[in-house]
Each structure stands twice: as structure tokens, then as C-alpha cells.
Chains A and B, each alone.
Chain A
Amino acid sequence: MKARLRSYAGLMLVPALSILLALLVASVLIIASGLVGTEKKVNLLLPLIAYRSLIVGAFGNFKGIANMVVAAAPLMLTGLAVGVGLKAGLFNIGATGQVLSGGLAAALIGMQVADAPVLIAIPVAMLGGMLAGALAGFIPGFLKAFTGAHEVVTTIMLNALIQLIVSGLVNDVFRAPGFSFARTAPVGSAELTGLGNTTLHLGVIFALVCIPLSYWLLWRTTVGFEIRAVGANPTAAFYAGMKPRRMMILTMSLCGAFAGLAGAIEVLRLGYYPAVFGTGIGFDGITVALLGQSNPIGIMLSALLLGAMRAGAPLMQIQARVPVEIIDVIQGIILIFLAAEIVVRKIFRLRTAGVGAGELQTITRTYGEKVVG
């Protein structure tokens, strides 16, 4: 037990220090932003005021907490979409495209069940989103397994392709009449409306259920065992009688399903699919997964952290008058420190990780590796 706790502490060390360093670096930028902002003076306390208002904005009252959880829910799912992939040795950059396809499918199915009871309409629309996302994940998985096409390349290409197809469909085929701009018809009872006067909605539960579910899948089932074995050492898995190709396809589809669900939640929250569904949750999923060390619990915590920053951002803009872009900057710096883990370890004089620190290896693994199985 003690050993397990210690290993968790070890896992969390670099992410925690990366966050700390990112906040320190961002402090400098925040102070600099004060120079060009409304106050035009150096205020060394500005970073603390900004961070404090972020915390208060996210945790100050129930609405803030609700906003945090609501912002975190899709990030948990895209975090899983990337993280579970990394566990299987696959770097899924296609969450963006999978989110879009899941979102559109949910919107279209939502239109069909707009008059059905809420408790039927919502799950049906979400399931549709998951399936569409799974399909978008299946394609690169299949290509990798049977042609060796690297998933990083194919998913990036698919992102662009899906974006164009979806936008064409919304602007043309499924454009709802009566609106001055392109969008789909309302999803009616499939819409995820806020509970009370908060933004909290039913979709959050779906996201939260996926966390223990994927934990169970990865660590308590034979399927998860295969996913992890294939990810950690595909040749050994193949020699042991597993089928790495099959696992690749399965895992990519599963990742796509998570991302598709995230897209479904975001779209059903809006109640329709807008002409411009610009969303960063697909790429933020990479940050979430790396920050969470591909561990579902870690992914949940990381998503909550990013969600807290989003939820606290409005108050930060009012109280500290710091540009909201600083949130993106902090996220970016966190990602840099995570990727440059060795820098963090040097700064804090930590020992380098032993065996098993596989996420970055997956990401940096050379192309053209032979697919076995």
C-alpha cells in the first residue's frame, strides 16, 4: 500500500512541478501585461491577484464550481481519448476531428428525437455521438494496423478532412431554415440544459462515469491488460499470443468514442450545431492526458484544473484585468515543461524516471516502426 502511494506520488511529481513552473513563468508575463494594460504600471502582486481571482472564480461559490465541472467534463473525455491511446502506444492527435464528428452526429440525432422524452433523447443523441467518434477513430486505427500508416499523420489529415465535411454538411445539407446564419435545427429535448441557475448539466455525469469505467477497463480487465501490454511492448505482446493489430483498431475506436462523446456533450449543451464550432477541447486533451500521466484519475484531476482556469477566467479578467489569453499561455507552458520533463527534473534535481515512463516515448517514437501481429 505504502509503495503504491509512493509510486502515485512519484507519478504526480513532475506534473505538479510543471504546473508550478508554468505559473512562475506566467507570472512574469502577467506583470508584463500590466505594463501594456489599463493600469500601465509594474505591479509585482498582479500575478497573485490574478491567481487568487482564478481560484475564487472557480471555487468561490457553487456556480463557479459548476462552471469548472462543466468545462472539465469534455476535457476529461478528450483527455481519455488521448491518454488511453498513449497506454496502447498510440498518439491520437485526432481528438479534434473525433469531437467534431461526434458533435455533428449528436446534433443530427438530437433533431430526430427532439420531441422524445428527455431521458431517451439525451442518451440516444450521446450514443450517436460516441459511435460517430468511434468511426472517426477506427479509420486511423485500421490504417495503422493494416498499412502501417502512422496515426499521427493520418489523424492530423482526418482532422482537416472531417472539419471540411462537417462544415459542408452544416452549411448545406443540414442547414436549418429561418436562421440568418448556418446552423442545424434545435435538438429540443436532447439539449443539455443547466440545472437551476447553474450551467451544470446531465452530460457531466456521462463524463464522470467514463473515468472509473476506463480505470476499470485498463487495470481490471484482460482487454485493458492487452491494451497496456501492446502499448508498452508490442513485440512482447505479439510473442505472448496477443493480437496487436486488433488492439490498435479497438483502442483507436475506443479513443474516438470518448472524443465523440465530448463533442456530443458540447453540442447538446448549445442545443444545435453552429456554423463555427471552433473548439480547443481536442487539442487540450493532449495537455490533459500528459498532465494526468495517462492515468484516468490523473486525467480527471488535470481536466478539473484546466476547467478551473476556464471557470475562473471571467473573474480574473474583472479583478486582475489580465487578458484571458494568459490561460492559454499557462496551458502551453505546462505542456512545454511536461514535454521537456528532463528540464523539470534538472531544475528540481530529481532522478530521471526509470522504466515505464512511456507516454513521451510513444509521442517521440520514430516513424516507420514495423507493425507486428
Chain B
Amino acid sequence: MKKLYIVVVALIAASFVLSACGTAAPPAADELKIGVVTDVGQLEDKSFNQASYEGGKAAAEKLGATFDVIVTQNISDYKQNIQTFVDQGFDVIITVGFLIGTDTAIAAKENPDVKFIGVDQNICVDEQGAPDATFTCAGDAATLLPNYQGILFAEEQAGYLAGIVAGSISKTGTIGSVAGTSLPAVVAYIAGYEAGAKSVNPDIKTLTQEVNPDPAKGFNDPATGKAIAQQFIAQGADVLFQVAGLTGQGVLEAACDAGIYGIGVDVDQVQTLPNLSKCIVTSAEKKLKDTIQAVAESAATDEFKAGEVFYNAASEPPAIGLSPYHDLESVITPEIQAKLDDAFAKMKSGELKPPRK
């Protein structure tokens, strides 16, 4: 009993001594520091948070920079988390998700010496460079906030490629897509998808449905996803494209159960859902990690671009594309691959511009 007290007292004393000394040696002033503030949720979300973390980390390793991450737990903590990086002298701060955009813009205005990279962020500011709640967006973000880049992706281009695959491999002439919530990025994917499918089969019938206008439910409801997919399958669809996060898992499961094909989204979903590899033909990918890494590296140089930047087929490295076909390599015939390569080349050159809406 006495011993326990002694241990406890010793621990407390030790912690105070440590506090006094200061354990974390202050890094050299000229060392580059890169930090990531995630969106609400887990770090390992197999999506934006994780890709931003991995991209930022890869850039930091290449540049020999210090790298840290703060995981956001509450929607109202964004400001405090960004501020912590600023106070700790970080040079590049990557913020993830559209909801954190407002606080990122404010921080960018207050701290012109720090570079901010907003993943998946539109920048809408007024003439003073402050966030604009009225959506007039009168200010030019690139000149007012030269230290802030909003990374956006040409989802329609990835969707277009997925659409070519779907249109080519469909035997019934009916394909489907499931949208979690009709956010702009989701709409773009699906618009591109339908255009891509029509480019190879002008008569193709396309089915699509939004799961729920509330993103908290739209992207997190596998059961409903499965139910919608089964309806589509009953209507003859034999390729399903999911743009619905966790809900999409249900869509892909339904596809597997029915013995038809599914197409994943954002990342290579055979990696995230290995047990469904037998029916995921490919995924319409945003090359999040590579793109974020490239932008983070650019922040250390003079090549840093401000304002909203759309990353697409023409970006270096390419920011969109299809995932490897894995087990279903045989489904993609050389003719289909030729069409895909052709479309990619045309998008890269600017000759082909799939619709975003």
C-alpha cells in the first residue's frame, strides 16, 4: 500500500521535473515543418484523411522536413487545431475537407508566411479576403490569399473513364450509379460516368439515385446502398458505380452477390475491400496521395500556386485515372483499353472535356 503511494508521488514528481526541463528539443529554426489537420473522424479512413497524411508525410520525407498530424474530433475544433500548428512554427499546413475551408481561409489571411493547402476545398472570399458566407465570391482568392491553395479534382474525368469501362462491358445495356449525397464532387463523377458510357454506347440506359441529402447518412448506410443496388439489378443493370463512401460498400456487395460488376471510387477499392475483388472491375481514382505530395513539395519552392487548382489528367503526376484491374484484367479487352487510352490522351490535351454536372 505504502509503495503504491510512493510510486504515484514519484511519477508526479518526475512529470514535473520533465515539464520543467522540456523534453522536446526545439527544432532548428530553418527546418521545414509540415502539418496535417484532418477532417472530423479517424486518421485511417482509407480516404481523404489517410491520403493527406500519407501524401504530406511522403513530401516531408523527401524534403527532410518535420511532419506531424492533428486529428480533429469535433467540427468546432478546426480553428484551434490549425492555430496549434501555426503557434508551433509550421511552414506548410494541409487541411482536409470542405468544412474546414472557412477556418483555413481565416488562418491564411492571418498568417501570410505560412502556406496552406486545402484538400477538397473551394475558396470563396470577399474583396477583403475574408470567407464569404453569401457566396458572391467577389474576391480573387489567388491574389488576396497567395499562401493558400485549394486542391480540387476533375472527378468528371475519372468518372468518364469509368463510364467507358461500364458502357463497354455491359451486356444488358443498362448501368447504374449510386450517389451518397449530391455534393458537387459526387455529381461530377456521375456526370462524367454517364457521358463516358454514352461515348461507347449511345443507347445505354443509365440509372442513378441519391441515398440521402444528409451526408452523415448518405455516406454511412451500407444497408440502404445494398437495397438501391438490388433495385437497379432488378431493372437490368449489370454494372454499378458507387460514389457513396461506406454506403457504396453495400452497393459493391450487392453487385458481387448478383454476379455482376462493380466500380469503386476515389481510391483503389480492391485494396480497401479485398473480399470483393472478384467483382470490382476497377475504381475511378483521384490520385490523392500523389497530388497532395506534389503540392506539399511545391510549397517549399516558388512553384506554389494559389487559389483553387483543379487537378486532372493533365496534371503532373496525373491526378485522376483508373485503378489496376487486378483479378478482372481479362474483362478489359485491348479494344476497351485503346478507347480508355485515347480518352485519357484527349482529356490531357484538353480536346475532351466531360461535363461536371
Contacts and interface: CB of A to CB of B under 8 A. Distances in A.
A107 to B, nearest CB: 13
B298 interface: no
A186 B133 contact: yes
A180 B81 contact: no
B215 A278 contact: no
Nearest to B24: A319
Interface residues of A, number: 55
B155 to A, nearest CB: 13
A318 B80 contact: no
Contact of B215 (A63, A178, A182): A182
A149 B215 CA distance: 34
Contacts of B85: 314, 318
A14 B14 CA distance: 23
A349 interface: yes
Contact of A270 (B24, B76, B83): B76
A186 to B, nearest CB: 5
Nearest to A265: B76
A274 B99 contact: yes
A51 interface: yes
Contacts of A275: 214-216
Contact of B88 (A20, A194, A318): A318
A315 interface: yes
Contacts of A175: 213
A263 to B, nearest CB: 12
Interface in A267-287: 269-271, 274-280
B68 A317 contact: yes
A178 B75 contact: no
Contacts of B8: 20, 24
Given A171-B213, A324-B70, A278 B40 contact: yes
Given A56-B19, A269-B76, A270-B76, A317 B71 contact: yes
B77 interface: yes
B172 interface: no
Given A45-B23, A318-B85, A182 B71 contact: no
A180 B184 contact: yes
Given A266-B76, A276-B214, A314 B70 contact: yes
Interface in A167-181: 167, 170-172, 175, 178-181
A194 B107 CA distance: 13
B18 A52 contact: yes
Given A48-B14, A311-B80, A318-B68, A181 B110 contact: no
B87 A52 contact: no
Interface in A30-77: 45, 48-49, 51-53, 55-57, 61, 63, 67
Given A48-B18, A178-B135, A270-B75, 6 more contacts: A170-B214, A171-B212, A181-B98, A317-B68, A318-B35, A323-B71
Interface of A: 20, 24, 45, 48-49, 51-53, 55-57, 61, 63, 67, 167, 170-172, 175, 178-182, 186, 194, 197, 199, 266, 269-271, 274-280, 310-311, 313-315, 317-319, 321, 323-325, 327, 347-349
Which 4 A-B pairs rank lowest in CB-CB distance, beginning with the nearest? A314-B84, A276-B216, A318-B68, A324-B71
Interface of B: 1, 4, 8, 11, 14-15, 18-19, 23-24, 35, 40, 43, 68-71, 73-77, 79-81, 83-85, 87-88, 98-99, 110, 133-135, 181, 183-184, 212-217
26 contacts: A20-B8, A48-B11, A51-B15, A52-B18, A53-B24, A61-B87, A67-B80, A171-B213, A180-B98, A194-B79, A271-B133, A275-B214, A275-B216, A276-B214, A276-B215, A277-B75, A278-B216, A279-B74, A313-B70, A313-B73, A318-B35, A318-B68, A318-B85, A321-B68, A323-B71, A348-B4
